[in-house]
Structure 1
């Protein structure tokens, strides 16, 4: 067994009872020491159940690798896989480490996983613990792996979908529970970051506004908010109003097409994509360039903590499918859920993938779902969708966006992925989760900072105005045509200019309009570019 730890990724090492331990994130030293001692003293008799009972004691965002000897190792990631761990297999050995490209370099026989390649091109990420290579894997959220004498055993100590009893309380009562728990999470974050400047990426939606307003309600000190994108975009206007109401300093970083084109050509961007590469998804770059500029202008410094809103809209029910829940046939309901998954998450190119390819993706997704979840009752079958999005898009792609902050060497927190939030939202019934009903009710009812009842949420409009008027003019030519014809025209010819935060300018506009395929958004192009650079195009 070979262990490869890249030292520039925020990982630390220590020795406990002469046992080498590598870790990243915030670890309770007493819980870690107890686990190491138990592994050392009961190495041959320790059961999976006993290991699980210790792993569930760890809280927050972390990864741990305990190297008991060259043939005995335990590795574990947190409940959302915020800090990934990878494994590579050969006929003669096992490799384990914190950076996928380092592991793949050690393998003489690199077999491309063509199913994962298809998934990547359709969605921008791989399914489950798979990567683009057959012999390279990653731990799932809430999972550990135990390696003994070249044998590898996966241990799931936490499931995103747990068999908890669904709440039966009224909306009002649950709202009070949720509000109390939410504030307790932020109290914990404020306490743990007393010496740091708190930095909030603020938009016009719910999640980042929750963060800013909760911090205000709890009298947090030294808070600064920022927004970014095209000048005068609606998100920035709302964010400025919120910040003003809360009396928090607010900064705007303009990212127009020209500036983004330069950003994407920069050495910093190239270095970041190398640093953040998991071989399982494209690099998430939401606020990378904005934070870099704020650092350069000394608005923030390295002694800061970034608190973003990822991914409140998902965990609170904003992505749930609106299928007919009166339908009693379980197979038909699951088919509707899988159809929704395909259309929402595996259609980066609108008019390109075949029915056979979609069928293959559905089989791969089905294979990745625990049997116990597929046997769940009709009243909770929406959790199949939640599990699929969490294990794939959220943990493999969105949550990996925290690498932006690691790359820039800034601390971060994920309050809306807090362990208590995971537990609470797992128990909320569909009716209160769908369209974020309970979440929105709680926020409006509490109205922290007085920013929830009068300031609009997600009041989308296109900017700059001349693009809006030009777009409406083009739309007139499609009055008597199929609606899809207009949407395809809009995506191919106009979206390049209407993104609030431009991601298309990495590419030439002429190449985009020449392409026969219709991209849902810029991610389709970035995912394909990633594969081309690795010589992995289908």
Structure 2
């Protein structure tokens, strides 16, 4: 027997066997197709489960799960505390976690124009750490690295900018499918494009995942249980995901209909969270099911280069969040307060989500104050189109649009045996709708078919998971 204790937010999946036939879990695969990740303990197979977050698990010698007991449950127990005291508590906790995680190692910091990695940059700078910073932008897209460089320069960190180019996926997709086990679609793994170039940057990554969820409200008001369910569905079901999942459900002759199945499954998971506050409850749901089964999956790519640390994933941060009144978390107040407190110059740099405004004036990101920037931005996109360089805003635009991308895409959709898992009319329908009808609505279904194609190929050549 062995015992495995999982973190509150695990940064990797741990699998175990359960009694049953080794057959595909078609219901779970339909959910995967709709939302882009597996829910709860589901995997591709009926006799395999992913260990739950924050549990102590007993595994026997044959790899079967014998017992699983929770050691932590998400809760909402707000303290009677001022914002200033909360900010001081957060500052001390966050900096102590980062100090403990990175020690005296050379730190690799992926930096964006948002708040999570910016908050890390300030903490690392305040602690006097040896940091190398990089950022990336889409080819023909918004120059996110411009903001990142300003942040790095303010902290006196060496900086490197990368361009994520059209079609980078295709010569890396086989490797990527083995790294992430096909538990996430491939078009979001931008770090895969620069993996080899990061190997000489430092000793340990400090990654900013999940800060935006923990340090903000998920809803501004108290809502009913049915409204909570609807809000979760709205957040997790991708464009076109319901259509693909329903088609798969029908083609595999599963009982009932997919939408009812998904709603019942999410409702049952929500019902296990004993929190009355709607915002805290939905945050707990996302941290239990979304973070470990979606956000964490492609962390394995970073691990191929160097060990990873995730300050926002830390158990003490999760415990801390459970005690903070929602009003003090709303609108990123704590992170903004921390940035202003530690580094005012850095707080004056553009906040990408509210560009061109910064942390002191982002409340002006509304009409008429933001009108000049919106007009300028629209004219820039129009100009790009007239020069034959459409403005790239989404990951899939680099992977699925254009003749070369189409050639590679068709290879994996139509020449790898995917039609032995997914009925060919479904593949044809999704592909044609993407090409001829509505790329935005069918990009996610197309990406999921690509993911299933690679999983199916690996399953056939590598044996069972």
Task: Answer whether contact 2:208 2:310 (CA < 8 A) is retained.
Answer: yes
1:501–1:249 CA distance, 2 compared to 1 (3 A)? farther
1:264 is paired with a residue whose SS is: coil
Count of residues in Structure 1 that have an aligned counterpart in Structure 2: 396
Of 336, 347, 353, the match for 1:458: 353
Whole-Å separation in 1 of the counterparts to 2:122 and 2:321: 21
> Are the counterparts in 2 of residues 113 and 134 from structure 1 also a CA contact under 8 Å?
yes
What is the alpha-carbon distance in structure 2 between the residues aligned to residue 307 and residue 120 of structure 1? Answer: 29
Q: Which whole-Å deviations, capped at 9, do the CAs of 1:455-491 have from their partners, x for residues lacking one?
A: 4443458999876125899xxxxxxxxxxxxxxxxxx
Please give the root-mean-square deviation of Cα atoms over the aligned residues, in Å: 3.2
Correspondence 1:175-190 to 2 at 5 A: 175-190=87-102
TM-score (structure 2 length as normaliser): 0.76
Runs of 4+ in 1 over 6 A off after TM superposition: 461-467
- 1:505 offset after TM fit, Å? 3.1
Q: Which has the higher strand share?
A: 1
Question: What per-residue deviation string (whole Å, max 9, x for no partner) do you get for residues 280-314 of structure 1?
Answer: 4435624222232343xx4x2xx521112111101
| Separation in 2, partners of 1:269, 1:449 | 42
Partner of 2:57, secondary structure, is strand
1:50-449 pair list within 5 angstroms: 72-90=1-19, 109-147=21-59, 152-159=66-73, 161-162=74-75, 165-191=77-103, 194=104, 196-221=105-130, 223-230=131-138, 233-257=142-166, 261=167, 263-266=168-171, 268-277=172-181, 280-282=183-185, 285-295=189-199, 298=200, 300=201, 304-317=203-216, 320-322=218-220, 324-325=221-222, 333-349=224-240, 352=243, 357-369=258-270, 371=272, 373-374=273-274, 376-377=275-276, 380-408=277-305, 410-444=306-340, 446-448=341-343
Superposed CA offset, 1:193-236 (max 9, x none): x1x32111111100111111111111112x11111123573421
| Structure 2: gaps (5+ residues) | 247-255, 356-372, 407-430, 458-465
1:529 alignment counterpart: 450
1:346, distance to aligned residue in structure 2 (A):
1.1
Q: 1:528 to 1:392 in 2, by over 3 A?
A: farther
CA gap of 1:436–1:458, structure 2 versus 1, over 3 A, is same
Q: Distance in 2 between matches of 1:418 and 1:346?
A: 27
Q: CA deviation at 1:515?
A: 5.2
User: Could you tell me whether the CA contact under 8 Å between 1:233 and 1:464 is conserved in 2?
Assistant: no
CA–CA distance in structure 2, aligned partners of residues 428 and 157 of structure 1:
21
Name the structure, 1 or 2, with higher relative contact order (CA <8 Å, separation 6+): 2
- Determine which of 381, 388, 395 is the counterpart of 1:468: 381
TM-aligned CA deviation for residue 168 of structure 1: 1.6
Q: CA deviation at 1:265?
A: 1.7
Gaps of 5+ in 1: 1-71, 92-108, 328-332, 474-493
Task: Using the TM superposition, give the Cα deviation of residue 402 of structure 1 relative to its aligned residue in structure 2, in angstroms.
Answer: 1.8
Q: In structure 2, how many angstroms separate the alpha carbons of the residues matched to 1:174 and 1:128?
A: 32
More helix by share: 2
Deviations 1:231-283 (A, max 9, x none): 573421111111111111111111132xxx1x2121x4311321221x64435
Contact in 2 for aligned 1:77/1:83 (Cα 8 Å)? no
Give the TM-score taking structure 1 as reference length: 0.66
Q: What's the secondary structure of 2:122's corresponding residue?
A: helix
How far the C-alpha of 1:366 sits from its partner, in A, is 2.1
Alignment CA distance shift 1:427-1:173 (3 Å)? same
Please state if 1:514 is matched with 2:412.
no
**Structure-1 separation of matches of 2:434 and 2:12:** 38
Given that residues 142 and 156 in structure 1 are in contact (C-alpha distance below 8 angstroms), is that contact kept between their aligned partners in structure 2?
yes
